[in-house]
């Protein structure tokens, strides 16, 4: 579920983005669009990339044995991290959502309501940071454009996909392939009723603001967008083509829907399936998820959580559910740092 807060970003960002693009003003993409893109950077590759909380293999002293029963409101997963005189709670989130997600599990609501600090991957309210990072990483230099970086076939397919959204290729021509891919998926998910404004991180930030709790972020817009921009020209085009393929045949949205429903229900078999689906194989998206969205980010997140815990107070840390899972998941990495890791549910 993810400072002094600027005004809350608009709720229906996809529609807002579409309206902006139709006005052919891509040179001044608004802060709301920037925030929308950032919260979807992990959605496109990891909304469907959650694995079962119960299947993790921790040393015996570092976890609660066996899977906890999943209650109707046991969304995501919740861990208690303690040791060295410090306490934190680690909560799995999804970056888009529905109002029916709330209230969250009583256990999560209780610890969130008493935490001294709320920590998210990225504080999406810092809109100026988004705009600066988007300008640096998401656009081509003046005089350059996507037509110089993808094949004629990819360009034709992109033009057709944008046409279905009522957007011209000319209005997007200065944006990089990975950014356009994320934006297209975001528009599609919004139409399916999955809103960024109802994502779990927003609920966490709202609660922090209501109580006056301190908010910290594990990453920056600069880092997240820079990670996507680290793809070379060939990788970026493949990423776009895979997104276009998935949107055309509906498989990408169905995969996201399966992942969201698995998060909602906590069903272990369903979570296993979406983890495998998102990380297995040789696709550009799966490779990017394995190597960068998880392999690179998780160790850095664990180090940052360790540092924040050392500052004192009880932390409530909301991160995408995928980051909790696997041998390189945050519970495992924090256990390796000497903390006692207990599964609440």
Angle, alpha carbons 47-50-55 (nearest 5°): 175
CA distance linking residue 193 with residue 97, whole number of Å: 8
pLDDT at position 225: 92
Helices (H), the chain: 13-22, 31-41, 43-46, 106-114, 127-137, 152-164, 177-191, 200-211, 221-229, 233-249, 251-265, 268-279, 284-288, 297-310, 330-336
199 pLDDT higher than 50: yes
Residue written as token pair 């369903």:
270
CA distance linking residue 217 with residue 301, whole number of Å: 10
pLDDT at position 307: 97
Pick the more confident residue, 96 or 113.
113
Note the pLDDT tens digit of each residue in 57-77: 333 333 433 344 444 457 778
185 pLDDT higher than 70: yes
pLDDT at position 73: 56
Cis ω on the peptide bond leading into residue 103 (within 30° of 0)? yes
Mean pLDDT, the chain, rounded, equals: 79
Pick the more confident residue, 51 or 239.
239
Q: How many CB atoms lie within 10 A of CB 284?
A: 20
* 332 Cα distance to chain centroid: 20
Per the rule left: phi > 0, alpha: psi between -120 and 50, beta: everything else, 249 is alpha
Predicted TM-score (pTM) above 0.85: no
Query: Which tokens in the block code for residue 221?
Result: 């817009």
Instruction: Report in angstroms the alpha-carbon separations of 191 from 5, 14, 15, 274, 292.
Output: 28, 9, 9, 22, 29
- Start-to-end CA distance of the chain, whole Å, equals 16
pLDDT at position 17: 45
Pick the more confident residue, 144 or 105.
144
Note the pLDDT tens digit of each residue in 12-41: 233 434 444 443 333 334 333 444 444 444
DSSP string for 1-33: ------SPPPS-HHHHHHHHHHTT-GGG--HHH
Average pLDDT over residues 97-124: 92
Average pLDDT over residues 233-244: 96
CA distance linking residue 131 with residue 144, whole number of Å: 20
pLDDT at position 337: 97
330 pLDDT higher than 50: yes
Q: In what order do the strands lie in the sheet with 340-343?
A: 214-217, 117-120, 315-320, 86-93, 78-83, 340-343
228 pLDDT higher than 60: yes
Confidence of residue 226 (pLDDT cuts 50, 70, 90): very high
Note the pLDDT tens digit of each residue in 303-325: 999 999 999 999 999 998 888 88
Confidence of residue 297 (pLDDT cuts 50, 70, 90): very high
Q: How many CB atoms lie within 10 A of CB 339?
A: 24
Pick the more confident residue, 300 or 100.
300
pLDDT at position 15: 40
Average pLDDT over residues 79-99: 93
CA distance linking residue 194 with residue 12, whole number of Å: 10
Note the pLDDT tens digit of each residue in 249-282: 999 888 888 888 877 876 667 766 766 777 777 7
Q: Give the closest residue to 127 by CA, choosing from 15, 3, 21.
A: 3
Q: How many CB atoms lie within 10 A of CB 236?
A: 23
CA distance linking residue 285 with residue 182, whole number of Å: 12
């Amino acid at each position: 579920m993810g400072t002094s807060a600027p005004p809350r970003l608009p709720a229906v960002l996809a529609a807002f983005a579409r309206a902006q693009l139709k006005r052919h003003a891509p040179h001044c993409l608004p802060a709301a669009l920037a925030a929308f893109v950032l919260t979807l950077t992990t959605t496109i590759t990891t909304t469907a990339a959650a694995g079962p909380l119960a299947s993790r293999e921790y040393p015996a002293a570092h976890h609660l044995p066996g899977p906890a029963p999943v209650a109707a409101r046991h969304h995501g997963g919740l861990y208690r991290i303690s040791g060295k005189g410090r306490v934190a709670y680690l909560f799995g989130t999804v970056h888009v959502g529905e109002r029916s997600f709330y209230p969250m599990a009583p256990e999560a609501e209780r610890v969130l309501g008493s935490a001294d600090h709320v920590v998210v991957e990225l504080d999406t309210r810092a809109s100026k940071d988004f705009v600066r990072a988007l300008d640096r990483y998401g656009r081509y230099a003046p005089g350059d454009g996507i037509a110089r970086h993808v094949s004629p076939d990819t360009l034709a397919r992109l033009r057709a996909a944008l046409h279905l959204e009522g957007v011209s290729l000319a209005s997007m021509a200065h944006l990089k392939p990975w950014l356009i891919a994320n934006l297209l998926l975001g528009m599609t998910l919004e139409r399916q009723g999955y809103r960024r404004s109802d994502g779990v991180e927003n609920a966490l930030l709202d609660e922090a603001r209501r109580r006056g709790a301190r908010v910290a972020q594990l990453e920056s817009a600069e880092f997240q967008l820079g990670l996507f921009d680290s793809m070379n020209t060939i990788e970026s085009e493949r990423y776009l083509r895979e997104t276009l393929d998935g949107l055309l045949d509906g498989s990408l949205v169905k995969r996201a829907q399966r992942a969201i429903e698995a998060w909602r229900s906590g069903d272990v078999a369903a979570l296993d399936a979406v983890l495998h689906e998102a990380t297995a194989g040789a696709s550009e998206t799966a490779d990017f998820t394995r190597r960068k969205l998880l392999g690179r980010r998780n160790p850095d997140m664990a180090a940052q959580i360790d540092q924040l815990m050392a500052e004192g107070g009880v932390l409530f840390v909301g991160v995408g559910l995928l980051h909790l899972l696997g041998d390189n998941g945050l519970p495992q990495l924090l256990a390796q740092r000497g903390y006692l890791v207990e599964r609440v549910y």
